[in-house]
Amino acid sequence: MSILTSKNAVTVALAASRSIEEIPEMPGVYAFYSAITSRRAIGLYSGGVPTADEIARARKIFSRKLQALLALRKARAYSGEVKDPSRGVHLSPAYDVTLQEKVSLDAIYPILELDDDTFIKAVDLLEETFFLQVPVYFGITKSQTLRDRCRQHRYDFRAYNQNSTFGFRAREAGLDWSDLIFSACPSKAYGSELVQVERIMHLLTNPILSLR
């Protein structure tokens, strides 16, 4: 059988009631994914056929949430010094520079212009493909269980008073707690290997809301 699965991994939609209770009480590695393009996130809560007015409102929410998240990339600033390495220090001018990433929002507009039925199909497909996206945050926990760490992030999100926390940054980015999906791999490791795994995952994924 060529299908790869992990018997230990757990993924929960935080919009579901009591979803945190399904998270293991063990240390491990975890990630938060954004579900901002799901039906629930854009205001289409019912299982029935949405009306034209509901879809029109959903398009606006879809655009607003996606643009807010992408704007975080534009907000990142990169600073450094530029000089000619082939010349001596006394001969080469040096310049302090600050760069910002240029983010094009042009790709958002075509999906917003789809007819209602096709737009809903696109939203449903995007919701199913969250696991193909880069996580917005990746972390580890050694002294806390994965369940308690998720609770801590939820508290930080609701308290909205600690700008160094993931919860605060997620709320600043315009996310709702129910927009998030929590995925974790419990581990029996408690030492430096968890730290090294976190660093490698940061290198591989560069989560937009991770700071270190």
Encode pLDDT of 30-55 as tens digits. Answer: 999 998 888 999 999 766 789 999 99
Place of tokens 């994924």: 205
- Domain membership of residue 212 (yes or no) is no
- Which helix (H) or strand (E) segment holds residue 140: the answer is strand 137-141
Return the amino acid letter for 54. E
Residue 90 belongs to a domain: yes
3 falls within a domain: no
CB atoms within 10 A of CB 34: 24
Which residues on adjacent β-strands are paired with residue 83? 94
210 within some domain: no
**pLDDT classification of 91: cutoffs 50, 70, 90:** confident
Asked if residues 130 and 36 have their Cβ atoms less than 8 Å apart, the reply is no
| pLDDT tens-digit readout, 53-88 | 999 999 999 999 988 888 877 767 778 888 888 887
C-alpha to C-alpha distance for 58 and 12, rounded to whole angstroms = 24
pLDDT for 5 equals: 61
When mean pLDDT is compared over 129-133, 137-141, 171-175, 192-196, the highest value belongs to 137-141
Residue 177: domain span: 10-205
Q: How many CB atoms lie within 10 A of CB 21?
A: 9
* Domain-located, residue 28: yes
Q: What is the DSSP letter of 118?
A: H
Residue 82 host element (H or E): strand 77-83
Q: Is 1 domain-assigned? A: no
2: pLDDT confidence band, cut at 50, 70 and 90? low
Q: How many domains does the chain have?
A: 1
